[in-house]
Amino acid sequence: MTTLIASDHGGLNSKSAIVELCQDLGVAITDLGPCCSDSVDYPDYALTLIKSILDGRAERGILVCTTGIGMSIAANRFTGIRAALCTEIDQAERSRDHNDSNVLVLRGETDAAVNRAITEVWLKTPFGNVERHSRRLNKVDRAGRLAEVAVLASEDPEIYASIVAQTEQEDATINLIASENATSSAVRAATGSVLTNKYAEGYPGKRWYSGCKPVDAAEQIAINRAKELFNAEHANVQSHCGSSANMAVYFSVLQPGDTILAMSLNQGGHLTHGSPVNFSGQLYNISAYTVSPETEVLDYDAIKEQALAVKPKLIVAGASAYPRLLDFVRFREIADACGAMLMVDMAHIAGLVAGGVHPSPVPYADFVTSTTHKTLRGPRSGIILCRQQYAQVLDKTVFPGLQGGPQQNATAAKAVCFAEAMRPEFKAYAAQIVANSKALAQTIANRGFTLVSGGTDNHLMLVNVATRGLSGKDAAAALDNAGIICNKNAIPFDTKSPFVTSGIRIGTAAVTTRGMRETEMASIGGWICDILDDISNTDLQQQIRNTITGFASEFPTP
Ligand code: PLP
């Protein structure tokens, strides 16, 4: 364990005594200065020491100034730093045992022998009763969610209020929107970083602006990680969102009027898969495939027949509301049979693919597009993966074809998310998303509700509420009243308008991020059915809302 020490001029004498103590105890200590008694500014020395702890070069630090107060204030501004100002031995012991303090702050005016004794106890005391104290320390860390935006409280109170409202909503409700998740503080930190300041038209090493070294590094890391995570030949990480990623692929290989074979919006596809209100439906000739009316599952033989008949230039696989695994082997075979290229839009399932619980489209598709903010749990953004043969045309289409400067703060946040998705715990997370989805689906089905296709293989399910005389719109509104947030959704061959719908879509990515498991899915499923069984009962909705507030607080969002 490496320990660092720094002071200002007022802490110089105590610092020397502590360095001697460490040498006596055989503790490796590095003195970061100052070395003479000229007046210096304590924040400079605090910052030098804190930076080394934050980036892992050292585990612990000791700071000394005349009163200890300035150093404490400077150190405790940083998430992950727990600086304890100790003037008595007992405080040093408790700061380790209760608070897992990683920075000891000493008052230079305290007798040097006392500071020595305080330090010895601090160095020797372990963090105790981990379960009890960790819970409290987690709450300290959670306060960081507001600390991240604290400056806005005075700079822009109106925007601050909307961020606080979102934070409180996340804390007090159950988010079952299948396309959402809750990002780590690391992803949010990169998203809110100074990288937003930089213009960087072009690609790493080939920019139109000077001063791009830092963003070149971030973008290259994001590209490398995207390729490694998905085992892809080429990655473009500049798309601003999933829709622009899809547009970039279409613009790379299609001409207006070319035929695309894709799943229609009202069957579970996305707007950008050819909806008439979207550029995709307006520029291209769309042939839409459906699920089987009997099984509500994709019928690959029927899709093949359709492909052979319409001879598309591009086949799009992927969906926003399809609860079953996609068979990319079949899609490739169909594309080959009709001489089409294959694009897989894995926006919804990217996290499941990264976690190994959904087959990867990468070996089969010419292009794979994705958002990064759904099951993948990154920032709100997009990526495109492709075979090397399309790399040049794709990059040229993204920039300068469609975009100007990339959002390098989002690029960095994507890199953070890819690194998180490569960790073993992400595999466990992805598996739990699916286990939770199946458990929730089972609970709802056991109460007599009809699930589209009879169940789920992935992170989402579609509940056909029309079979119980309800509309998706009313069902989602009633659930919202009770603190359960999901969305109305068309079901295949829906007879109701897209504003009303016969279904609701429910997903488990965000609740799984909060640590909920099968037991919690049984509770949530029970509440959903109670509400839908008695949809006009607003007292029940309020009662469940109150229960959910307490329930949700046990599962903190990151
Ligand atoms: N593709 C699919 C399958 C989606 O579900 C979505 C969004 O929900 C998108 C693309 C578009 O993503 P964005 O909203 O980032 O444009």
Nearest CA to ligand 1 atom 13: 242
- Verify that 89 and 131 share a domain, yes or no: yes
Task: Give the sign of the dihedral formed by CA 24, CA 27, CA 28, CA 34.
Answer: negative
How far is 49 from 68, CA to CA, in rounded Å? 15
Last residue of a domain, one of 139, 157, 178: 139
Cβ atoms of 7 and 23 within 8 Å: the answer is no
Cα 342 to ligand 1 centre (Å) = 18
Domain count, the chain: 3
How far is 190 from 207, CA to CA, in rounded Å? 21
- Verify that 334 and 475 share a domain, yes or no: no
Predicted pLDDT of residue 130: 82
Note whether residue 431 is domain-resident: yes
Task: Give the domain range for residue 215.
Answer: 191-421
Last residue of a domain, one of 96, 117, 139: 139
Last residue of a domain, one of 357, 388, 421: 421
Cα 341 to ligand 1 centre (Å) = 20
Cα 321 from chain centre: 20
Nearest CA to ligand 1 atom 5: 320
Tell me which residues have their CB closer than 6 angstroms to ligand 1: 179, 241-243, 270, 272, 318-320, 345, 347-348, 371, 382
Note whether residue 148 is domain-resident: no
Nearest CA to ligand 1 atom 14: 242
- Verify that 546 and 403 share a domain, yes or no: no
DSSP letter string, 319-345 = -SS--S---HHHHHHHHHHHT-EEEEE
Cα 239 to ligand 1 centre (Å) = 12
| Atom number in ligand 1 closest to CA 243 | 16
Q: Verify cis geometry, omega within 30 degrees of 0, for the bond prior to 406.
A: no
- Verify that 391 and 505 share a domain, yes or no: no
Backbone angles phi, psi at 255, to 5 degrees: -110, 150
- Could you read off the pLDDT tens digit of each residue along the chain, which spans 558 residues? 789 999 999 999 999 999 999 999 999 999 999 999 999 999 999 999 999 999 999 999 999 999 999 999 999 999 899 999 999 999 999 999 999 999 999 999 999 999 999 999 999 999 997 888 888 888 888 888 888 999 999 999 999 999 999 999 999 999 999 999 999 999 999 999 999 999 999 999 999 999 999 999 999 999 999 999 999 999 999 999 999 999 999 999 999 999 999 999 999 999 999 999 999 999 999 999 999 999 999 999 999 999 999 999 999 999 999 999 999 999 999 999 999 999 999 999 999 999 999 999 999 999 999 999 999 999 999 999 999 999 999 999 999 999 999 999 999 999 999 999 999 999 999 999 999 999 999 999 999 999 999 999 999 999 999 999 999 999 999 999 999 999 999 999 999 999 999 999 999 999 999 999 999 999 999 999 999 999 999 999 999 999 999 999 999 999
| Atom number in ligand 1 closest to CA 269 | 3
- Verify that 450 and 503 share a domain, yes or no: yes
Cβ atoms of 109 and 120 within 8 Å: the answer is no
HSE-up (13 A, CA, CB side) for residue 165: 6
Which among 181, 264, 270, 368 is the best mutation to test ligand 1's pocket, defined by most ligand atoms within 8 Å of the CB? 270
Note whether residue 546 is domain-resident: yes
- Verify that 102 and 222 share a domain, yes or no: no
pTM of the complete model: 0.94
Predicted pLDDT of residue 519: 98
- Verify that 344 and 457 share a domain, yes or no: no
Note whether residue 348 is domain-resident: yes
Note whether residue 177 is domain-resident: no
Element counts in the chain: helices (H) and strands (E): 23, 20
Note whether residue 92 is domain-resident: yes
CATH of the domain at 392: 3.40.640.10
Nearest CA to ligand 1 atom 11: 242
Cα 241 to ligand 1 centre (Å) = 7
Q: State the CB neighbour count (10 A cutoff) for residue 257.
A: 9
- Verify that 317 and 360 share a domain, yes or no: yes
Note whether residue 145 is domain-resident: no
- Verify that 129 and 66 share a domain, yes or no: yes
Cα 135 from chain centre: 22
Which among 272, 414, 462, 489 is the best mutation to test ligand 1's pocket, defined by most ligand atoms within 8 Å of the CB? 272
Kind of pairing, strands 503-507 and 460-464? antiparallel
Cα 350 to ligand 1 centre (Å) = 12
CATH of the domain at 130: 3.40.1400.10
Which residues are part of the catalytic machinery?
Answer: 199, 201, 345, 371, 374, 380
Q: Tokens 């105590």 map to which residue? A: 14
Predicted pLDDT of residue 132: 83
